Amino acid sequence: MKTPTALPPLHRIRQALDAEEITHPAADLRRALSSPALAERIRPGMRVAVTAGSRGIDRIAEVLRLTVAWLRDLGAHPFLVPAMGSHGGQPPQGPVDLLATLGITEETVGAPVEADPETVVLGYVEDMPVHCARSAAEADAILVINRIKPHTSFTGTYESGLVKMLAVGLGRRPGAESVHARGAQGIPAIIPEMAQVILRRAKVAAGIALLENGFDRLKRIEAIPVEEIMDREPRLLDEARRLRPMLPFKAADVLVVDALGKDISGTGMDTMVIGRSFLTGEPEPESPRIKRIAVLRLSPGSKGNAYGIGLADVTTRAVTGAMDPASMQANAMTSTFLERIRLPLALDSDREAIEAAVSTCNHPDRQTLRIARIRNTLHLEEMYISEALLRSVPDSVEVLEGPLEWPFDDRGDLVSSS
């Protein structure tokens, strides 16, 4: 019987993150939408398409419900359009089921979900067709709703936000394929060009931009008239970059990630947080430098899509057993980033996976092993780190308790989340 690898005890720490959040979303949204420049674009009897994406945005179901109520007060007939590129599984039911996992249904929001996968081509950027969901293209008005945040596969003036929702989300899988056909180098330029075609050809009335604080909580709601979207979003992206939580250290031997998931990040794990992109021909982030990454679980909200598992070195059979290969393949083929679904070494238990990461990180002294455990790459206020790693974090980091032993059960699985 194999002797268990000695793992250093951990300290539970907390880092200071931006904590400002909205306490009354209804009032804030009504205030944002109160501009006559917005309300005058919605007239009684209009069919209004409202975008609903696949990310786990804080209070997104509530924001959608309040937006639908505002539209109904104006006499309009709102409906939701699943706007999620290739994510969501086989349409029309796949995207509907995925939205339901986020609490977004006709019953909770007060508007029907129209998930017909058909798209129309509204124009071309060079030789690339610009797709738009037919239901949205034929609507009398479109309200684009999305969170503004840095993207995990490219850097540009526009990353994850309203502009990407127009070009990729509303374009469904054909739109996502058109964008990703340019590769990581071409995406930053093609997305705004395709979005501008939709802005010219479809009846987009406004965008509703959402910003989250360092705790993944809604910080601000901003309604943006259609003619201001292209100018306003880059400034909101700059703010989102400042708010983005990161690891409080620049290097580690092993990072243990409790859960990976599409509802956590488009790449399952935020590439800027873990310091890995794995895109052929593209440079890796300068930091953090992490020798080995172990992923223990797949989030339920991923619906089996473990896209991004290729960023890990080691995982568990709990992850591989929960995978839906078809959705992963569709995601990878659409993005063209095949590296991200390559399967790492899979072990039977959490302990075996962690020990495999430790024993292959080429660090011989377990007492000075720099190891950390996080819940996921989205929730980074609290985490567990070893004594060796504790010496490299800023003075502002608070030690809450420790040293603590790893809480493995009889099967070798961790019994509590980080």
Q: How confident is the model at residue 284 (pLDDT cuts 50, 70, 90)?
A: confident
CB-based contact 188:155 (threshold 8 Å):
yes
Q: Given a cut of 80, is residue 23 above it in pLDDT?
A: yes
What does the pLDDT average to over 375-401? 94
Q: Given a cut of 80, is residue 89 above it in pLDDT?
A: no
Q: Given a cut of 50, is residue 415 above it in pLDDT?
A: yes
- The confidence score (pLDDT) of residue 391 equals 92
The top-level CATH class assigned to 25-243 is: alpha beta
246, β-bridge pairs:
none
- pLDDT tens for 131-158 read 999 999 999 999 999 999 988 777 889 9
Q: What's 335-387 look like in SS3?
A: HCCHHHHCCCEEECCHHHHHHHHHHCCCCCCHHHCCEEEECCCCCCCEEEEEH
Tell me if residue 328 falls in helix, strand or coil. Answer: helix
CB-based contact 282:399 (threshold 8 Å):
no
Q: How confident is the model at residue 2 (pLDDT cuts 50, 70, 90)?
A: low
Distance of alpha carbon 210 from alpha carbon 216, whole angstroms: 11
Tell me what percent of the residues of the chain surpass a pLDDT of 90. 66
CB-based contact 53:169 (threshold 8 Å):
yes
Cα distances (angstroms) measured from residue 17 to each of 243, 247, 370: 8, 11, 23
Look up residue 154 and give its two tokens: 């490219």
Kindly tell me the burial class for residue 188, based on how many C-beta atoms sit within 10 Å of its own C-beta (0-12, 13-18, 19 or more): middle
What does the pLDDT average to over 116-128? 90
CB-based contact 303:324 (threshold 8 Å):
yes
Q: Given a cut of 50, is residue 195 above it in pLDDT?
A: yes
DSSP secondary structure letter of residue 156:
S
CB-based contact 110:72 (threshold 8 Å):
yes
Q: Given a cut of 80, is residue 1 above it in pLDDT?
A: no
Which one, of 169, 156, 261, 161, lies nearest residue 211 by Cα? 161
Q: Are strands 371-374 and 251-260 parallel, antiparallel or unpaired?
A: parallel
- pLDDT tens for 299-353 read 998 889 999 999 999 999 999 999 999 989 988 888 888 899 999 999 999 999 9
- The confidence score (pLDDT) of residue 154 equals 79
- The confidence score (pLDDT) of residue 418 equals 46
Distance of alpha carbon 79 from alpha carbon 211, whole angstroms: 23
What does the pLDDT average to over 34-49? 88
Going 21 to 27 to 32 to 33, the CA torsion angle's sign is positive
User: Which alpha helices (H) appear in 244-336, and where do they start and end?
Assistant: 271-274, 317-322, 325-335
Domain boundaries, the chain: 10-17+246-404, 25-243
